[in-house]
Amino acid sequence: MQGEAESVRAANQRFYEALSQQNLLDMEQIWSHAGHVRCVHPGAAMLEGWDTIRASWRDIFTRSICLTVTPQDPKVTVLGPTAIVTCREQIHSFTLDGSSSGAALATNVYFKRDGRWQLIHHHASPIGAAQITPPETE
């Protein structure tokens, strides 16, 4: 099971790399496209179904000039073909509205299909208040 845990950990790492690279094509590979997949972005509503979730990532990537989300202290539990990963997310974002830094806690659930661990559930919730710096004005 140790090997499986490492595979799940690698899949989780790829998710955060796709996020920080704002790479929608990689997101399409990482997520399951099932109708039951669900996603909660920090402080936002529960989204259901890949088409809706894909649209939310596209919106986030369109808004972000720069976005880095670094996973910290990932913990992996493998239960047959399902795996739960929890981690702390360190988030830095830079948009036209200014920059912000904050942290979140995430629950990510993966399901192994055709030998590949696919993300089927993402729930992230903010820890503490985000530090927001408005853009400099002339």
Contacts with a second copy, residue ranges (CB under 8 A): 36, 38, 40, 42-43, 45-46, 48, 75, 77, 79-82, 84, 86, 88, 105, 107, 109, 111, 120-121, 123, 125-127
14 Cβ contact partners less than 8 Å away, ≥ 6 residues apart = 26, 30
* CB count in 10 Å sphere of residue 86: 16
50 Cβ contact partners less than 8 Å away, ≥ 6 residues apart = 31, 32, 33, 34, 35, 37
80 Cβ contact partners less than 8 Å away, ≥ 6 residues apart = none
Detail the DSSP E strand segments found in the chain. 38-40, 46-48, 64-79, 82-95, 98-113, 116-133
Contact of 57 with 51, CB cutoff 8 Å? no
